[in-house]
Every structure is written in C-alpha cells, then in structure tokens.
Structure 1
C-alpha cells in the first residue's frame, strides 16, 4: 500500500468534571498523527490544550492537516533515522506549534521502533519498574475535595497535588489544615497548584498562610509573564515556587534562559505536550541543572498515547521524585493500554495490551 499519514482529532470525556482556577473541564479535544507503510506504522499525539496551549489558534486544524500531507509526501526522508525534525526547513515554524512538534517527535520514534509503543526503551517499559507519581486533587466543593483526598490516601499515595484558587481561600486552608492534622509532613507531601490565580498584591500573604501546613511547593502562584513580580515572590515566599504556565510562551532557548535567570524559581514543571516535545524538555533540564533549579515532569491531560510517551521519557531521567503522571484514569473513553497505577506508582504492564484498533477503524481506515 502507498505510505499514508493521517491527522485526526478525538474528544476525551472526563468521568467526573475536573475543576481548576480556569474553569471546569468536562471534555478535552486532542489530536493524533498516524503513519503507515505496509506493515510498519507509528502514532503520535498532538496535545492541543484549548485556552492554554501556545498554538491554540484558529488555523490549528489547517496546520496539522498540512503537516500530515507534507510528511506523507516526504515519507522516506522524514522517517530516515539520521534526520531530526529540525533538519527540515519546511518544518522550521513548528516552534509556533509546540503540540504538533510534540506529536511529530512521537510519530517518528513510534514508526522507527519495532514495537510502535516503545519510544524510550527503559526499565519502565521493559522491566515493569514503576514511576512514583502524585495524586491529583481537583477543585470543587469541600465534600468533593475531601472525598478525593481520602480516596487517594487509601490508594497509597504519599504525595498529593491540590488545585487551589477557584473557591474561597479560607475553605481551601481549612481542607489543608484537616489533612495535616491527620497526616504530618513525614507521612504526606502536599503540593498545591494555583494556575496563576493569585493577585500579585495579595499573593505573598496567601503564601504565608499556606506555609502553616508544611506545603512542599506551589505551582504558578500568579499569572504568567510577570517575571519581576514572580522573582520577588521567589525571594520572599516561605514556600518553594515552581513555574508552570510561565514556560508555555517561551519559544526559543534565549527566552528560556532569560526567564529562568530572572525569576530563579525553586522548580520548573515540564509538560512536553505544551513545551514542544522531548528535545526541548531536555534543554530545560540542562538549563535548570546549570542554574541549580529543581524540576519534575507532568502530563497535560493527554490520552494514554501521549501519557505513555511522556512516562517513558520520564523514566529515562532516573528521577526518584514523584511525577505528575496520574491523569490517564480521568477519562471514560481513554484508549485502553498497559498503563496502570498501583501503590502510587505508574506501571507499564507487559501482560496487558493496547486497544487502538477501534480508534483507527473509525478515523483512519
């Protein structure tokens, strides 16, 4: 058969709507690139996050279709192992489309490997070595948040990340106080994520109040692109600060270096689907290590296709810190996969199989 490359979207449905300071999520659209030439095939997820991704723009659908046509017309040279995505002048604007860049990186690795689901051959994939992860607590009413916390702790999680900033702050503090009264810091690590919800004029006071509960770190306390205000918070905050949304708009290495040197955060959160893939993620890790900045890796509500790729890349870093990779179970219609969570770790269970055929039958064949 003729070499074929297809781009299509797929809507993921949340089992329970997830609350953040940006609103409640009930459904998330993601995109895929699929390539096939006779028996060889590969797949990559382009994780467009509406309202957050740098490439959330009106021409996205047109762009991903044009990229699929270009790869199909240059199939042999694109999938030549010695080339990289950066090798092609026609793809030089992909730094403006980080989710497509992320998908193309996966697509090429997937196609070139004998097992199309193996992108990084690490002990996570080959030997079923689990990756420590945090339990994610969505925003909502007090009872809803409390029930999530109890469920995660019963499942063995010893690191929780709680979304804050959307409901009454005193209520959020009360929930954190209740957790700490039952689980001291040596039993449970607490991270919080404000998604930029705090006002810069009151953020420091809120950070001081949060510090009463031995919080490990807070992600993005104020909105992105306020470098000097964020830098001041870093110097004064009693809680360590991690950058998240701040990194999304940085489109080259100079901007990356300037941002990290100016703000000097304690941590950065790496989301390959929003930053532009693994090569850029590696650049962030190198720069962070040079500046003595900590880091961890987080998925950004990808399907199991993207989550699998991110998890394998994460395992190649040999980090022992809990990572943010527990989002695969959020959807009622996720692609069935060998990814499983047990005892607060993510595993790739070789005895389980992928069920990709229904997706391909509907959108490709």
Structure 2
C-alpha cells in the first residue's frame, strides 16, 4: 500500500464575497491511496484563515500521512487531531479504497438516484443589486430555503433586501437563513438580531466571532432569533470540551462542516452531543471540490436529515471535477447514469 497527495486550486466562476473577504480561488489537497489494483480518493479541504489546521506545516503533515499510510485509517485519524481536514481526507480515502466504486462510498436511495435532499440556496455577499439578482435566481430555481451572507455591506441595505423578500414571499413560502460569519460586535449583536427578527428568519449563523463563549451564551439566552453555531465548533477536538461548549452556550442550532471538525467521526461526536441536548443541526460543505462534496452528501443522506442542508456548492468553480451530483428544484441529487471525470 502506498499513498500520494496533490495540491489542486479550484477557480471561482466569479469572485465570491464573505465577511472575511472576497474569494477567487480555493486551495484543496487530494489524497490517493493505492493497494494492488485498487485506489481510494480523499479530499483535504482547507480554508485559509478559518481552518484549525491552517498552518505552515500542513503539507509536511500530508507527507507524513503518505509515509505512514500502512498505520490504517483509525490510528492515522487519532494522530491527526490538530489537522481536521486531513482527518477527513484520510477517512474518505480509506472508505473509497474499500468500495468497489471509489466514488460510491455510502450506497443508498440517494446514490441510486431515487431520492434527494432539500438544500438551501446560497446567496453571496456583494452590492445590493448583485444580491437581489442571486435571490431572484434561487427562487426561480425552486429553492424554498435561501441563505444570505451578511455583515460585509451596509446593515441598513441588508435589512432592505430582507424586507423586499418578505414583501413578496411569506415565511411559509421562503425560509430565510442568514450567516454573519462573526461580523457583529458583542455590544451591538442583540440590537441587530432584534432588527433582523422582524423579517421572520429561520436562523442566523455565528453572529459574533468564535471564542467569546460567555457573550455567545448570553446572546443565545436573550436572542429573538434562533442562533446556529458554526465557526464556534472549530478547533475543539475532545469530546469533553465539545459537551462543555454545548452545555454552556445552549444554542438553538449547530452547523457541521466535516472538513473543519474532523470528518465523519468528528462530526458524529458533535451530532450525538447536540441530539442529547435537544440542539437541532444541519450539515454544510466547506467549498470542497465535487470529491469532498460527494462524500459529505452521501454520508449526510444516511443520517435522515430533517432540515434543508448546506450542500450544493460544487457549481461555483470553472475547473471542478465532473460528477453525478446535481441540484434540481432546490434539491441535491445524484444521477448514477453520469460518469466521473477525475483527472489530476
């Protein structure tokens, strides 16, 4: 058995804005395991400036994984606690190696093309006219749940956008989620949430920056709008610390990005803690290529999710790998008649 890794830069079709800046490229790393005539493929999807494992020795650790691939998935995962995206890539690659089809990791009604998952339509930050255009496109495309990135343009302009949506569509017709990516200051957050709540939103993701546990606890206690933890979960690797965080903050929702929190196993730990504490959840991709998105979506389906998931970002890139994944009328689907085109 041996393994290799390759860096792959995904190129955005158009610059995509978040409160942390505008993205034009997304760096990712593809891990391949070879054993006799079989091959396994995994993706280590890192987000610079956000991932816990955004560090100078990242490639060095990938090389270490390849040099020690014979340790097996479980032992490697345990030795990669500080590298959650590599944990996920390792899990994915070994699962792929075990499968007859390296891209068919979790066979189900989803991978047979008989069932899909409802997802939210993502609206990126930008000038108000650009955001209006995106919103219109998502609604026309059949999404019943849209997610708006907020916190980068004028807050009054963002409120006006929400007002315009609600003038045309009730909360029963269109569910709206917003994601502040930690853009609000703790001193202003509650006031802003009160203004946002007038537009009957489903939830807001990470209103203040992660790491302000006491401020987030108070905000979740007082909020007129359900709060979903997102970045708050990054970098917490022990089960005890995970339990403590959820018990202290007591959020309304939690959002799991496997590439940022230790893959399937790390996500499962969070999921069980949240369910034990009556905190609902959904799973979101983290701008992976279709390789990572494929693994996340197939696994997510096996969890029988109740809420719209945050999948379907594979169409953002000009150089993504062709795959059976597709979005149709607000649902994420898998067309088994379509072939993969995976060439590095």
Give your verdict on TM over 0.5.
yes
- Structure 1 position 64 matched with structure 2 position 50: no
Q: 2:82 aligns with which of 75, 96, 105?
A: 96
2 CA distance for matches of 1:121 and 1:149? 34
1:233-248 equivalent positions in 2, closer than 5 A: 233-248=219-234
Structure 1 segments (4+ residues) deviating >4 Å: none
In structure 1, the partner of 2:158 is 172
Question: Secondary structure at 2:304's aligned position in 1?
Answer: coil
TM-superposed CA distance for 1:92, in Å, is 3.5
Instruction: Summarize deviations over 1:6-52 as a string: whole Å, max 9, x none.
Output: 11110000001110000000100000110123321110000111111
1 CA distance for matches of 2:158 and 2:107? 41
In structure 2, the partner of 1:109 is 95
In structure 2, the partner of 1:345 is 331
Aligned-residue CA RMSD in angstroms?
A: 1.0
Question: Secondary structure at 2:126's aligned position in 1?
Answer: coil
Instruction: Summarize deviations over 1:325-355 as a string: whole Å, max 9, x none.
Output: 0201001100110001101011110010000
Do 2:112 and 2:335's aligned partners in 1 also have CA atoms closer than 8 Å? no
Do 1:128 and 1:350's aligned partners in 2 also have CA atoms closer than 8 Å? no
In structure 2, the partner of 1:159 is 145
2 CA distance for matches of 1:139 and 1:191? 14
TM-superposed CA distance for 1:220, in Å, is 0.2
Do 1:47 and 1:273's aligned partners in 2 also have CA atoms closer than 8 Å? yes
TM-score (norm 1): 0.92
Do 1:98 and 1:274's aligned partners in 2 also have CA atoms closer than 8 Å? yes
TM-superposed CA distance for 1:169, in Å, is 0.2
Q: 1:193 aligns with which of 162, 176, 179?
A: 179
Q: 2:188 aligns with which of 202, 223, 244?
A: 202
1:229-268 equivalent positions in 2, closer than 5 A: 229-268=215-254
- Worse-matched range after superposition: 276-285 or 309-318: 276-285
1 CA distance for matches of 2:36 and 2:243? 44
Do 2:77 and 2:90's aligned partners in 1 also have CA atoms closer than 8 Å? no
- Structure 1 position 285 matched with structure 2 position 271: yes
TM-superposed CA distance for 1:91, in Å, is 5.5
- List alignment gaps of at least 5 residues for structure 1: 79-84, 360-365
In structure 2, the partner of 1:221 is 207
Do 1:241 and 1:265's aligned partners in 2 also have CA atoms closer than 8 Å? yes
TM-superposed CA distance for 1:128, in Å, is 3.3
In structure 1, the partner of 2:282 is 296
